[in-house]
Amino acid sequence: MSEGNFPERPGEPECSYYLRTGNCYLKQNCKYHHPKNITPIEPQCPLNDKGLPLRPDQAICPHYSRFGICKSGPTCKFDHST
């Protein structure tokens, strides 16, 4: 996550996706607040080298399998071990 790419809008509701993942695909177009100092969420499971969850008991993430990236980031419910 690189600070400065996300708008700070004090007084507006915080971007829930940004708070969960540390990322926001809308970047400057997002109407919500993106606080600079967010506390990272502790992962519930191990992460691969791209920061995506390893969940061997779940199905492979279809988006990650097809494109090599995951839209849901570390909160994805699928496996990213391939």
For residues 20 and 1, membership in a common domain is answered with yes
Model pTM score: 0.51
For residues 46 and 36, membership in a common domain is answered with no
For residues 51 and 76, membership in a common domain is answered with yes
At residue 3, the pLDDT reads 47
Q: Left (φ > 0), alpha (ψ -120 to 50) or beta: where does 17 sit?
A: alpha
For residues 69 and 81, membership in a common domain is answered with yes
For residues 55 and 30, membership in a common domain is answered with no
Return the exposure string of 35-58: e unless at least 16 CB atoms fall within 10 Å of the residue's CB, then b.
eeeeeeeeeeeeeeeeebbebeee
Q: Give the separation between CA 46 and CA 54, rounded to whole angstroms.
A: 6
pLDDT in tens, 58-79: 999 999 999 999 988 888 899 9
Question: Which two three-digit tokens encode residue 20?
Answer: 């969960």
For residues 80 and 51, membership in a common domain is answered with yes
> What domain range includes position 50?
42-82
